[in-house]
Structure 1
Amino acid sequence: MAGAPTEVHQRIDTEVARMSAALIDLSRDLHAHPELAMQETRAVQRLLTFLADDFEVTQPYGGLNTAFRADAGDATPVIAFLAEYDALPGIGHGCGHNLIAAGAVGAATALRRAAPEIPGTVACIGTPGEEGAGGKVLLLEAGAFADIDAALMFHPSDRTWPIRHATASVHLTLEWHGVAAHAAGSPQDGRSALAAVIQFFTGVDALRQFVPETSRMHGIIADGGQAANVIPDYTRAEFTVRAATTAELDDLRERVIAVAHAAAAATGTTVSITAGLVYRERKNNHTIADRVAHHLRRQGVTVDQPVLRGGTGSSDIGNVSLALPAIHPYIQVMDAGTPTHSRAMAEAVIQPRAHTAMTQMATALACAGADLLADPDLFAQVRDEFATRGPDLAAG
């Protein structure tokens, strides 16, 4: 375990403190101008303006208009700090991506400025569309992480955890097509797409008893018809299926799809189903996560023991973590029990408490990055762990 802070760590502390007001302004600006997945044009420009003085910038990146990469250095290893900056429909930054983005550029910039003499490359990669569009999955498939030796990012939360398991997930869009008719005058001529989508939700509820405790199935009726006196000939549901592993997810997805087809058969309708990108389970690199936890503790942050139990969220960092060493620690920015993806969290992530936590995490990430670049033996441990340790899976 790392000992007392070195001169480099102290320089990083100083750099983050020097930048803190600018990082907070950046976070507030992103929060005040939320943009949905793959539409984050303003956020990208704000982040690149912050990075431009210290990094060579590529944008667009990996075939995505709102992705970017900023590099400083031309040697190996390559340490990448990942930024997310998309918001939630109707809620805004109820997942705290304003903090993730500002913290990532802060960590990358602090490391670059504090330790230019350390060999290696510091990168900051902007990864759009985490909220359902799978920006990291698309970047990974495009080869955008091919030269990255370790990927570091964090997430705001109601707890501080160095690691956390995450479920594999897939988004389904389900559309039922029936026959419209007057609901009073000629209902016998209609085939109700609304009855089909209701049957689907009822069938999924029946399925819940027979799936593992860590699985989740949830969604909304996005289009249920247009008029009460017309039998709807079209309805649409947006649905997410989650499971502990990708293999379990593949099985559960097929069972959910079977329920959708059964609902169509029972109501004389047809159904079409479009599946989104699969977010895979998470493989945390404990060697790096432990180093981040150490640098949080030396700033006075209490780091809790992770609870690897029950269901949890999903993120496209899981796909990256199965391809290369990666971390996704959490830091407390709000009271325990505050729900994520909520208006309460959207309010919390703009408060002074959250911004203090953001700068503490930026410091910890930058210091961990400095340790990785400066210590080949540490990086060897990281690679050895990646080769031998599997994903962190929830207990039932």
Structure 2
Amino acid sequence: MLDEKQLKDLLLPKIDSYREEVNALNDYMAENPEIGSAEFQSSAAIVTLLRKHGIETEYPFAGFDTAFKGVINPEKKERMALLAEYDALRGLGHACGHCASGSSSVLAALALNEVRDQLDFGVDIIGTPDEEINGTKCLMADKGVFDGYDFAAMVHMGPFSTATSEFIALDGLGFKWHGQPAHAAAAPEKGRNALNAARLFLDATDMMRQHVIEEARMHGFIKNGGEASNIVPEFAEVEFLTRAPRREDLNDITAWVKDCARAAALATRTEVEMFPVGEPFHELYISELGANLMRESFDELGIPCADQSGMKGSSDIGNVDYRCPAFHPMMGIGIEENCHTQEFADAMMTQGAHDAIRNSASLLLCMAAKLYGNPQLLQQIKADHKAYRGY
């Protein structure tokens, strides 16, 4: 069994052999952005590269047309998962940097594959499409795709490098109120105002804020509130998001929000229809052991690591973390602009992005070396995760 130093000495020099090919892969995806669940060219390009270098890859995978699973050392019981994202944003291309993030996981997988015969563990690289819209990792987690792994890891791109991100649980909710139209001046008593129901709902959820935990977030907007000022609105629609640091807290908040929707319908004598918007996202848990592991890896690679948390919001990586320990550090690409901006998208083919791909792959390999080179550390992280999750 190789120790941490031996694993790092074995793995890290292999990265440069594949940088040119992986940078070309990144640039191709950046030039040809595809939104969630339509990443046909992007996923095919990744799979072609994996298969070229002898990684047996299932594609499509798990019932998703643009998902894949490449397997290294299938006979090994101890296994890690590298997660690859490659979906773009509507209207902004790769402004979230998934072309570079996915490419970094590919680069790490190719390095691991080259020395597969010297490894005591197995590696799966899993293509996880559609993070931005539907959160396919949620559906994959429900299917058991991430069950049994020692850990799963990926690196996201950002304006600076850091070990941790604050991803909290999220529920997306849709509400449609159905009323009765009437002439607003001639016969308003015959109408039932759906817009009033939507307004009452938003007022009620505003009143909730003082009675829920401080860290909770609730926000939404009216998508449809009527057609004309002289007609009592017969239809109104609201899209609403609820968030909280832990799923157990969020479930009660979301139930309360639904009660507000029902109450608004009762008060206005309308009918309300409720439906999910996207998949429920769970929170990402990073233990102090896991955070220290990532910080030490940044330090040993000579990559400056900020003390502050990186991305804040919600992501389907949290649903992976409900199945196995998940790591989601952020790597700076050399610009100050945040994700989801045109400037970030424009930077995806620069030297800064290419360097971030190499640094991210190095970080993934360093983390793997630490965990498999120190079995006690790996077991401590898994035990801590199990205790937190209660499984």
**TM-score, with normalisation over the residues of structure 2?**
0.87
Counterpart contact for 1:178–1:193, Cα < 8 Å: yes
Gaps of 5+ in 2: none
Distance 1:15 1:259, change over 3 A: same
Distance 1:349 1:207, change over 3 A: farther
Amino acid at match of 1:84: E
Aligned to 1:385: 384
Q: CA deviation at 1:272?
A: 0.9
Aligned to 1:394: none
1:13-162 pair list within 5 angstroms: 13-53=12-52, 54-73=54-73, 74-162=75-163
CA–CA separation in structure 2 for the residues paired with 1:350 and 1:187? 59
1:196 partnered with 2:188: no
1:1-396 pair list within 5 angstroms: 6=5, 8-53=7-52, 54-73=54-73, 74-183=75-184, 186-227=187-228, 230-275=231-276, 276-307=278-309, 312-333=312-333, 335=335, 338-388=337-387
CA–CA separation in structure 1 for the residues paired with 2:65 and 2:211? 42
Amino acid at match of 2:363: A
Distance 1:50 1:218, change over 3 A: farther
Q: CA deviation at 1:176?
A: 1.5
CA–CA separation in structure 1 for the residues paired with 2:103 and 2:345? 15
CA–CA separation in structure 2 for the residues paired with 1:339 and 1:181? 48
Tell me, what secondary structure is at the counterpart of 1:240? strand
Q: CA deviation at 1:172?
A: 0.6
CA–CA separation in structure 2 for the residues paired with 1:192 and 1:91? 38
Counterpart contact for 1:8–1:115, Cα < 8 Å: no
Range with bigger deviation, 168-177 or 326-335: 326-335
Tell me, what secondary structure is at the counterpart of 2:119? coil
Q: Deviations over 1:221-273 (max 9, x none)?
A: 33344455544422322221101111110111122112222332333321111
**TM-score, with normalisation over the residues of structure 1?**
0.86
CA–CA separation in structure 2 for the residues paired with 1:366 and 1:35? 28
Tell me, what secondary structure is at the counterpart of 1:65? coil
CA–CA separation in structure 2 for the residues paired with 1:195 and 1:356? 54
Gaps of 5+ in 1: 392-396
* Aligned-residue RMSD, C-alpha: 2.9
Counterpart contact for 2:18–2:110, Cα < 8 Å: no
CA–CA separation in structure 1 for the residues paired with 2:248 and 2:195? 32
CA–CA separation in structure 2 for the residues paired with 1:386 and 1:174? 36
Q: CA deviation at 1:77?
A: 1.0
Distance 1:361 1:185, change over 3 A: same
Distance 1:37 1:174, change over 3 A: farther
CA–CA separation in structure 2 for the residues paired with 1:115 and 1:183? 74
Distance 1:286 1:151, change over 3 A: farther
Percent identical residues: 32
Q: CA deviation at 1:184?
A: 5.5
Distance 1:111 1:89, change over 3 A: same
Distance 1:192 1:294, change over 3 A: same
Distance 1:222 1:376, change over 3 A: same
